[in-house]
């Protein structure tokens, strides 16, 4: 996993209140229920759909917004 993705996982883990290792493991296994338990139901359902759809996930990661986040994380 590249360093940008590691930084995103680290940031997301802080926001979700779970360890980076647990978040990474959940993402790799496709088990997002633990990390979504603290989110609003509507948001967690949207994120589940994106994670389960490889083309949507790729589109999200390559979006201008994601690129801005990645740049900020690299500063």
- For 27, residues 6+ apart whose C-beta sits below 8 A from its C-beta are 9, 35, 51
Q: What's the whole-model pTM score?
A: 0.50
| Domains of the chain, residue spans | 3-74
**Mean pLDDT of successive 10-residue stretches along the chain, which has 75 residues:** 76 81 81 73 81 82 82 71
Closest by CA position to 52, among listed 19, 73, 27:
27
Closest by CA position to 5, among listed 23, 29, 31, 30:
23
Residue 73: what pLDDT? 67
Integer-rounded Cα Rg, in Å, for the chain is 12
Q: Which two tokens stand for residue 64?
A: 């201008």
**Alpha carbon distance 9, 1 (integer Å):** 10
């Amino acid at each position: 996993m590249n360093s940008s993705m590691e930084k995103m996982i680290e940031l997301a883990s802080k926001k979700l209140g779970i360890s980076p290792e647990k978040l990474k493991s959940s993402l790799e296994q496709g088990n997002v229920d633990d990390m979504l338990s603290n989110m609003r139901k509507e948001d967690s359902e949207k994120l589940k759909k994106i994670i389960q759809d490889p083309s949507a996930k790729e589109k999200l990661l390559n979006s201008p917004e994601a690129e801005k986040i990645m740049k900020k994380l690299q500063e």
